[in-house]
Amino acid sequence: MSFSDEFELLLRARYPLVYIPTREEERVEAAITHCAKQQGNRGVYVWDFVDGYQGNPNDAGFGRRNPLQALEFVEKLPATVPAVFVLRDYHRFLEDVAISRKLRNLARLLKAQPKNIVIVSPQITIPDDLSEALTILEFPLPSLTEIRAEVERLLSATAQSLDSKLLDELVRSCQGLSMERIRRVLAKGIAIHGSLQLEDVELILAEKRQTIRQTQILDFYPATERISDIGGLDNLKDWLLRRGGAFSERARQYGLPHPRGLLLVGIQGTGKSLTAKAIAHHWHLPLLRLDVGRLFAGLVGESESRTRQMIQLAEALAPCVLWIDEIDKAFAGIDGRGDSGTTSRVFGTFITWLAEKSSPVFVVATANNIQALPPEMLRRGRFDEIFFVGLPSQEERRSIFAVHLLRLRPHNLQSFDLDRLAYETPDFSGAEIEQMLIEAMHLGFSQNRDFTTQDILEAASQLIPLARTAQDQIQLLQDWATAGRVRLASRQANLTSRI
């Protein structure tokens, strides 16, 4: 059900007090006015603390700097006159005992009158004594249809036309922004280039990064890594490549659902995070990184509110990749936490969304300790697949060395003995191989020469891999993977490492 349908239903059902949390005042007031006209041409009266009531010359300025008088104005109109009263930023006054009492009195009175009070606020702040009287109604970010109409209006105003492909690209890139931000960034593009162009997509992405940064929950992560930058993990890469077109309209017409996501479990430093970045780059989707710790806040109810905000923002930016790193550390042992159930409620909201989401948000979660994850997280339906990413085999280590050396010494790759390097480095992860190469470069740089295969082997002899320092934990992970409970990311997984 759309916002207009829900709001019109509340008007017809005579819900006296409606609370709409949104930062898009102008757009929501336009939507309210449209709905009010549809419902018997109701009058709309808008109040704010600085200017009082606006719009009607007879009442202009009434209730200025007096929030209680703003409520008394509701009783001033005849009981039979249908009206909607929009109160801007009124959440700031709800803790006042006189305001709270007056609102509850009006809630009883307006049940028999065709009047509704709508509080428009950028955040949800409702005291306990008003929780039963107020009805919260979510106001979504602009839909694709609304964005397209706005872009076409701007094109018409500037006497410009775009081919359908560029128009679709601009419209899709604007998803997740408020209408005001869309207008600003498109106007910025016109100011720079004189017209809307494909280069303006980068301006829109910069605006998205700014918006997401302001939420302090999600990070807009630049994804430059390619699938080819991943050494080994052939099963996982094949799985991803087969789903490359699964977000297209052609896939919808074929009957395919949107891919749900991946859970990557395995040893630290084996390429799980790199895979998340490569997926976003290969599928040409924005990459959002969620730090689950940011969801938890000190105020009661704020953690749950942040979780809902994260979900709304991710869905508004869809199609996208949502990367959740080390999810096991966030939800480990949730039953034993003494936080009044906050973690359990956040976890419940999150996994319910994972199971029921229909939006094209591809979730890539990584975990190092599978035993720390609640069993509900591993149930089929949350993710499309669960892959185990183990220590690289000898062949995969050769591929990892080749990837890094091709980046570091692209014109001198043939001088390195990749076969020997792969053979001499059992139990080393991809991250440890990278660190080994950095150490070898330091050795060569300190002697004013280029580094060699021997320098790399010297660095390897001084580096103790995690597979040896955390032998028991890694053995447990490998035993769990070999028990057939998970799909292996590599065709030749190194599950019998020399520890």
Closest to 35 (Cα-Cα) out of 2, 4, 81 = 4
Q: pLDDT tens-digit profile of 309-361?
A: 788 888 877 788 999 988 887 776 565 555 556 778 888 888 889 888 888 89
Q: pLDDT tens-digit profile of 84-119?
A: 999 999 999 999 999 999 999 999 999 999 999 999
CB 37 within 8 A of CB 4: no
Is the pTM value of this prediction over 0.75?
A: no
The token pair that represents 367 in the structure block: 């975990």
Distance separating alpha carbons of residues 333 and 310, to the nearest angstrom:
23
Q: pLDDT tens-digit profile of 119-129?
A: 999 888 888 89
Q: Are residues 244 and 361 in the same domain?
A: yes
- Considering only the C-alpha atoms of the chain, give the largest distance between any 2 of them, rounded to a whole number of Å: 92
Last residue of a domain, one of 136, 158, 180: 136
Kindly report which listed range (266-275, 291-300, 428-437, 481-490) carries the lowest average pLDDT score. 291-300
Within 10 angstroms of residue 498's Cβ, the number of other Cβ atoms is: 8
In a domain, 254, yes or no: yes
In a domain, 476, yes or no: no
Q: Are residues 242 and 373 in the same domain?
A: yes
Distance separating alpha carbons of residues 479 and 347, to the nearest angstrom:
28
CB 246 within 8 A of CB 282: no
Last residue of a domain, one of 110, 136, 162: 136
CB 467 within 8 A of CB 427: yes
Q: Are residues 294 and 375 in the same domain?
A: yes
Asked if pLDDT for residue 299 goes beyond 60, the answer is no
- CA-to-CA separations, 35 to 6, 16, 191, in angstroms, rounded: 10, 16, 35
Pairing mode, strands 43-48 and 52-54 = antiparallel
Asked if pLDDT for residue 495 goes beyond 60, the answer is no
pLDDT at position 401: 93
In a domain, 316, yes or no: yes
Distance separating alpha carbons of residues 270 and 160, to the nearest angstrom:
50
Amino acid in position 384 = D
Name the band, by pLDDT with cuts 50, 70 and 90, for residue 244. confident
Is the torsion defined by CA of 444, 447, 450, 452 positive or negative? negative
Last residue of a domain, one of 369, 389, 409: 389
Mean pLDDT value across the chain: 86
In a domain, 23, yes or no: yes
Higher pLDDT, 201 or 439: 439
> Which of 70-74, 251-255, 358-362, 381-385 is most confident?
70-74
Place of tokens 């936080």: 339
Domain span at 360: 227-389
Q: Are residues 256 and 332 in the same domain?
A: yes
CB 144 within 8 A of CB 249: no
Radius of gyration of the chain, Cα coordinates, nearest whole angstrom: 28
Distance separating alpha carbons of residues 216 and 207, to the nearest angstrom:
15
CB 378 within 8 A of CB 358: no
Distance separating alpha carbons of residues 412 and 23, to the nearest angstrom:
56
CATH number at residue 409: 1.10.8.60
Q: Are residues 63 and 198 in the same domain?
A: no
In degrees, rounded to 5, the angle at the alpha carbon of residue 76 between the alpha carbons of residues 74 and 78 is: 95
Q: Are residues 51 and 182 in the same domain?
A: no
Task: Spell out the SS3 assignment of the chain.
Answer: CCHHHHHHHHHHCCCCEEEEECCCHHHHHHHHHHHHHHCCCCEEEEEECCCEEECCCCCCCCCCCCHHHHHHHHHHCCCCCCEEEEEECHHHHCCCHHHHHHHHHHHHHHHHCCEEEEEEECCCCCCHHHCCCEEECCCCCCCHHHHHHHHHHHHHHCCCCCCHHHHHHHHHHHCCCCHHHHHHHHHHHHHHHCCCCCCHHHHHHHHHHHHHHHHCCEEEECCCCCHHHCCCCHHHHHHHHHCCCCCCHHHHHHCCCCCCEEEEEECCCCCHHHHHHHHHHHHCCCEEEECHHHHCCCCCCHHHHHHHHHHHHHHHCCCEEEEECCHHHHHCCHHHCCCCCHHHHHHHHHHHHHHHCCCCEEEEEEECCHHHCCHHHHCCCCCCEEEEECCCCHHHHHHHHHHHHHHHCCCCHHHCCHHHHHHCCCCCCHHHHHHHHHHHHHHHHHCCCCCCHHHHHHHHHHCCCHHHHCHHHHHHHHHHHHCCCCEECCCCCCCCCCC
Give how many domains the chain has, as a whole number: 4
Q: Are residues 370 and 244 in the same domain?
A: yes
Mean pLDDT of 446-469: 91
Q: Are residues 205 and 63 in the same domain?
A: no
Q: Are residues 43 and 132 in the same domain?
A: yes
Strand partners, 221: 287
Q: Are residues 234 and 125 in the same domain?
A: no
Q: pLDDT tens-digit profile of 379-432?
A: 877 898 989 888 888 998 999 999 999 999 989 889 999 999 999 999 898 899
Q: Are residues 317 and 357 in the same domain?
A: yes
Pairing mode, strands 43-48 and 134-136 = unpaired
In a domain, 499, yes or no: no
Q: Are residues 195 and 242 in the same domain?
A: no
In a domain, 256, yes or no: yes
Amino acid in position 290 = L
CATH number at residue 320: 3.40.50.300
In a domain, 332, yes or no: yes
Distance separating alpha carbons of residues 158 and 142, to the nearest angstrom:
22
Distance separating alpha carbons of residues 358 and 260, to the nearest angstrom:
9
Pairing mode, strands 261-266 and 385-389 = parallel
Mean pLDDT of 193-216: 79
pLDDT at position 497: 44
> Which of 93-102, 189-198, 256-265, 380-389 is most confident?
93-102
Residues 6+ apart with CB under 8 A from 405: 413, 416, 418, 437
Name the band, by pLDDT with cuts 50, 70 and 90, for residue 498. very low
In a domain, 299, yes or no: yes
